[in-house]
Structure 1
């Protein structure tokens, strides 16, 4: 471990790096690439999901900070799915960088075995697996249940779903409300209220605009710049009052205390391990509980499987003249096939308790076969005849499009 390794970097001179520094260099490069890919992919998918809620934000009068906070609750669930894929891309990028700079060949010539080279990638994978395990056990279900609670409050809130512009909404017997327009920021314009709930009087309110305010005391429709007419039984003339600001109590129609039935994805890991025997969801869907539980268990295993498969295809030393296209394509197909088979087993696990066992065996086989390839120093390459056929096909395509064929 005290030896020094000399290798050349493209665009630079010779440099001496201690064997321990190689681990740190690969570890940092892999995790930095992983973070960049993870943030990029998660950000793109999150933006597409967040844009769907802009209309809801404007109709509810929520601030942009609240909107971003609510929509960000889905990020842990996205990270849970994207992390293994981001790790595979990061390892591929790091290995390709090392191969382009001829560093893998030099390290191999200096006595660094493929298994030894795999060690810093394994450390990076361990970090990702711990992150995924925490998200699967707590963070993702916590975000999903918070999002469901928020969505249930909006769905159950009559103020949101019944008060539609241009329509007379009967919130209660003998209570009718109409708004002319709903503007961005939750501003209600052209408000008319006809309240006949009290048999001794009738109240009609017309206001220029208003907003819905929710606090600890309840929900209130704050009316501004309007008139109130009160018709009392036995009196011929109504009482007319002009007001600048008036609060109309709407707490009865805003179900803030609405209980939310948690779905399976909103359960923490320990709630899946030992659900109450009388849980109605568990009694109705025991197979989905089983499938979700095993998915949580296998979530931190997938990074190890993806990392091992990627390194098995791309980690062997090759010269710059040897094409890596087949190895890159093979690693993508292997990872994609393993993940799709895992999804299929998750679906079958809802009906069969044997499906999770098959999924565990697939992951163990993928990791075991990859380690065998890494330890044995096996270089995965296509047959020579297949490569000749591919090269001839490429040459024909190049001639067909009029491009010169390079040797």
Structure 2
């Protein structure tokens, strides 16, 4: 029996992982494109890859469900079409025994999804958000582009010829027109951004300062070995940030801080908490629906295409219904019980049909088709 369980689990794992990773790759690529602009603007490749990988846990929560569901349908239909299930039934194995490997796999996926939802997803979302804010707020995100004129503000333009791996900039030009009557142009051989106690500074070395007085058309030229340009006024001030529900760990959803914003957003916090608790339950529910499509009813030589089509549609509709309930934050006393009832009821109905329950209207239709085919012959 153990050998059969391992064999069926291998048959299930291959299509499940293929579907899950294929969907994950497509979605991950579309999400990673959000960081391409920052990559062009000077974001290190390693940071780009790290940010992209942090998106995976949130994507995997849904692709694992779809992979498990359609992988189960595919694997059991293949076993059925190859008559392997028929041989196992004839050998005395019950439907519940044959379904056990799929249920084991569903429980493993459920556990993985709880780990993703409780720890990895909020960690990834929070880290991505913090790094994006830090990058957007950093002046280096603007001026570190090489070979182009970068607009710091409407009145300040910066040009960098080259940037070294150590972060030093070569061939610097800064044109400052914040005082329209006396525009200033800074030129330096090299420079770098530094953080000081007084704020960020742009340190330029071996250069000159050119100031033009438009009033009397006079040019003032000053050579310097080192010049510190105060750029604190350009740096964005993020201030305290509100942690959105999908950025919070479970314990932060259960016991949030006491603030006016929390009271306003409490329905969203509760909805996010219930979503993380409920979503993994769909793994078992979807497996039972898939099993009902392949193992429900009696053996049919012409295959189970219609039953599988109904099971696939039912599984997708159940998942769509669950996603819709997750988005509803009004009338929580009605919605939250439905969140839990839907996967439990869907799983129970699927288990009933997978264990031998019958769809009378479907069987009658199949019998009529068989009779019609016989008469035609």
For residues 34 and 256 of structure 1, do their structure 2 counterparts lie closer, same or farther at Cα, with a shift above 3 Å needed?
farther
Conserved 8 A contact 1:153-1:255: no
2:28 maps to 1:46: yes
Residue 149 of structure 1, CA deviation: 0.9
Residue 323 of structure 1, CA deviation: 2.7
2:155 maps to 1:205: no
Unaligned runs of 5+ in 1: 1-18, 393-406
Partner of 1:400: none
2:269 maps to 1:289: yes
C-alpha deviations, 1:151-186, integer Å up to 9, x for none? Answer: 222333455469996576559xxxx53135899999
Q: Which of the numbers 174, 181, 190 marks the counterpart of 1:192?
A: 174
For residues 375 and 321 of structure 1, do their structure 2 counterparts lie closer, same or farther at Cα, with a shift above 3 Å needed?
closer
Secondary structure in 2 aligned to 1:376? Answer: coil
Question: Greater shift after overlay, 114-123 or 322-331?
Answer: 322-331
Conserved 8 A contact 1:194-1:204: yes
Q: Which of the numbers 337, 345, 348 marks the counterpart of 2:328?
A: 348
Q: How far apart in 2 are the matches of 1:216 and 1:115?
A: 69
Partner of 2:356: 376
**More helix as a share of residues:** 2
Conserved 8 A contact 2:143-2:160: no
Residue 388 of structure 1, CA deviation: 6.7
Q: How far apart in 2 are the matches of 1:379 and 1:282?
A: 48
For residues 289 and 320 of structure 1, do their structure 2 counterparts lie closer, same or farther at Cα, with a shift above 3 Å needed?
same
Q: Please list, as runs of the form range in 1=range in 2, the aligned pairs for 1:66-85 lying within 5 A after superposition.
A: 66-85=47-66
Secondary structure in 1 aligned to 2:245? Answer: coil
Partner of 1:334: 314
Partner of 2:78: 97
Residue 346 of structure 1, CA deviation: 2.1
Secondary structure in 1 aligned to 2:173? Answer: strand
Secondary structure in 1 aligned to 2:242? Answer: coil
Partner of 1:403: none
Residue 262 of structure 1, CA deviation: 0.9
Conserved 8 A contact 2:192-2:203: yes
Partner of 1:7: none
Partner of 1:178: 157
Conserved 8 A contact 2:294-2:304: yes
Q: How far apart in 2 are the matches of 1:67 and 1:240?
A: 41
For residues 317 and 216 of structure 1, do their structure 2 counterparts lie closer, same or farther at Cα, with a shift above 3 Å needed?
farther
Q: How far apart in 2 are the matches of 1:101 and 1:214?
A: 68
Aligned residues: CA RMSD: 3.9
C-alpha deviations, 1:323-373, integer Å up to 9, x for none? Answer: 322122111111111112212322334433221102212222111112222
Q: How far apart in 2 are the matches of 1:226 and 1:357?
A: 70
Q: How far apart in 1 are the matches of 2:310 and 2:19?
A: 21
Using structure 1 for the length normalisation, give the TM-score.
0.75
Q: Please list, as runs of the form range in 1=range in 2, the aligned pairs for 1:163-174 lying within 5 A after superposition.
A: 169-170=152-153
Number of residue equivalences: 360
Q: How far apart in 1 are the matches of 2:305 and 2:288?
A: 18
For residues 39 and 189 of structure 1, do their structure 2 counterparts lie closer, same or farther at Cα, with a shift above 3 Å needed?
farther
Partner of 1:149: 130
Secondary structure in 2 aligned to 1:66? Answer: helix
Q: How far apart in 1 are the matches of 2:242 and 2:161?
A: 31
For residues 169 and 300 of structure 1, do their structure 2 counterparts lie closer, same or farther at Cα, with a shift above 3 Å needed?
closer
2:288 maps to 1:304: no
C-alpha deviations, 1:113-141, integer Å up to 9, x for none? Answer: 11111101111111100000011111101
